[in-house]
Amino acid sequence: MIGIIDYGAGNLHSVLKAIARLEYKTKLITNPTDHDDSITKLILPGVGNAKVAMEILNESGLSDYLKSEVAKGTPLLGICLGMQLLLESSEEGNVPCLGLLKGTVPVFKEDAEKIPHMGWNQVKDVQQHFLFNNIPDNTDFYFVHSFFANPLEEKDVLGTTNYGINFASVIGNEQVMGVQFHPEKSGKCGIQLLDNYCK
């Protein structure tokens, strides 16, 4: 069972639909009491504002829930804003985030490229990771974002993308990981990445 965190994120239903296509069972988690022991993996989707998202996660108890589940060893995948929330803080509202990975979330500088970064762009595999299984290196995925992950530790950078600068577009480790792009909107390879995570 895949638990999908429901805190009003805009891409929630497209993520649900993509996981359903893969024939995995899902359960929406809107507060910690929705958890049950059949949930083996978690997904934190995300479209929107980091400060607003963290306020909802904190007020609902989902922040503590996610930290507790990760401490127990439950895998967690963050998508887009959900990926950024895995880090320690975001410049979007200057808000503390979940702190499950070390690092910050700065904004793209306006003189680099057109902001937001929107559209298809390549992801370069930096490390071998199961998320990339059966996905060619330098595959294009679909991005929409103005802020980006800046992990403190190089070992947490799994994939990079160039948009004026090279930034970490896939981060994490074997348990906690995040993708800046939207796999649910990235065609066959995006669905493959979700399948790699869920299985």
**Which residues are the active-site residues?**
80, 182, 184
130 by DSSP, 3-state: which? helix
State how far the Cα of 156 lies from the Cα of 154, in Å rounded to an integer.
Answer: 5
13 CA to centre of own chain: 15
- Gyration radius from the chain CA atoms: 15
The runs of H, that is alpha helices, within the chain are 12-21, 50-60, 62-72, 81-84, 187-198
Residue type, 136: P
